[in-house]
Amino acid sequence: MRGRTWAAGGTALGLAALILAAWHVASSRAVAAPTDEREVQAGRALFATHCATCHGEGGRGDGASASGFATRPSDLADGRLMNGLPDEFLVSVITHGGPAQGLAPTMPPFDRTLSADQIRRLVAFVRTLAKPDYRGGPAGLTRPPRAPKQPIFFNHVIHAGSFQIPCQYCHADARRSEYAGLPSVERCVGCHKIIGVADNPEIGKIHEYARRGAPIPWARVFKVPEFTYFPHKAHVRADVACQDCHGPIERMPVVGADTGPALTNDLAHLVGLHPPSRPLTMGWCVECHRRENAARATRAPLDCVACHH
């Protein structure tokens, strides 16, 4: 009996040591991101079996059947593009196929062939291919509430996160006008004349709008009432980041936001609580104006006519 208790005690101690060691690995990983070598080796073997025909042994997008695709299988070794993508994005594409993130259906889904653990190992291996080295990616994807269904699946994670196209390349009026503006069809076509046309139906839709000479009818997300004046120009010039007001757009596969007045928030104020004001309400504008003026000596207006005229 006693022996067994000791043995159990020993096991518990051993477990504690293991957990500590695992914790140590996990915490050092957060700094330098070397991944468990066994996971990587397992991932390498899976990659050779399931992915190399298209992506090539080294992941460069040069597998035996790669030349058959109009959209080349991605170069998974290009750290400049891959390192900006969160693990969650890679897992989503491998599990559900390219269309889950708006990419071409020629990237097939593996949810019937591979387990979640196997996909995790694949991602661990793919990360080791990156040049420049992968040193821990951005935080996961953000799935904001109330994202409307858009006419084309346009993914900011790919354009702004991975390819790092500057926000104002597409929202070009933000610095000089009241509106940030949305890119014209011609601007999309400028890049997508070649990229992805042949085998991505989402990109095919761009050309359909261009051919008809019709603008893409994007559904609006952020909107203040007509009687309010909101100028982007003043805010961009005062170095307020887009993300301060819109959230981490570069991590959103689809844009959405919960904005405007809400009864629960109003009621909380009524009973003396002070929850933060909801985005795009008057309280939200005024609180930031007060805060910025105090912190940075800006001259953000608090008088009614500045915002209502």
Contact set for ligand HEC, span 193-252 (CB under 6 A): 195-196, 200, 202-203, 206, 218, 220-225, 228-232, 234-236, 238, 240, 242, 244-246, 249-250
Q: Which stretch binds ligand HEC (CB under 6 A): 8-16, 26-34, 71-79, 268-276?
A: 71-79
User: What is the rounded distance in angstroms from the CA atom of residue 48 to the CA atom of residue 42?
Assistant: 10
Return the range that interacts with ligand HEC (CB under 6 A); candidates 24-32, 97-105, 127-135, 268-276.
97-105
> Residues 53, 46: contact at Cβ < 8 Å?
no
- Per CB under 6 A, the list member of 108, 109, 138, 204 interacting with ligand HEC is 108
Report in angstroms how near the CB of residue 4 gets to ligand HEC at its nearest: 46
Q: Measured between alpha carbons, how far is 98 from 107 in angstroms, rounded to an integer? A: 5
CA dihedral sign of residues 200, 206, 209, 213: negative
Distances, alpha carbon 169 to alpha carbons 4, 209, 232, 294, 295, in Å: 69, 21, 15, 32, 30
**Cβ-count burial of 164 within 10 angstroms (0-12 exposed, 13-18 middle, 19+ buried)?**
exposed
Of 140, 179, 211, 214, the one binding ligand HEC (CB under 6 A) is: 179
Largest interatomic CA distance in the chain: 85
For residue 26, the minimal CB distance to ligand HEC (Å) is: 23
Residue from 169, 258, 269, 275 touching ligand HEC (CB under 6 A): that is 169
Region 253-282 residues binding ligand HEC, contact defined as CB under 6 A: 255, 260-261, 280-282
Residues 24-53 that bind ligand HEC (CB under 6 A): 50-51, 53
Which residue's CB is nearer to ligand HEC, number 42 or number 54? Answer: 54
Q: Taking CB positions, which residue lies at the least distance from ligand HEC?
A: 102
Least distance CB 250 / ligand HEC (angstroms): 4
In sign, the C-alpha dihedral spanning 21, 27, 32, 37 is positive
238 CB-side CA count, 13 A: 18
How many chain residues bind ligand HEC (CB under 6 A)?
101
Q: How far is the CB of 117 from ligand HEC (least distance, A)?
A: 13
What type of residue sits at position 146?
Answer: R
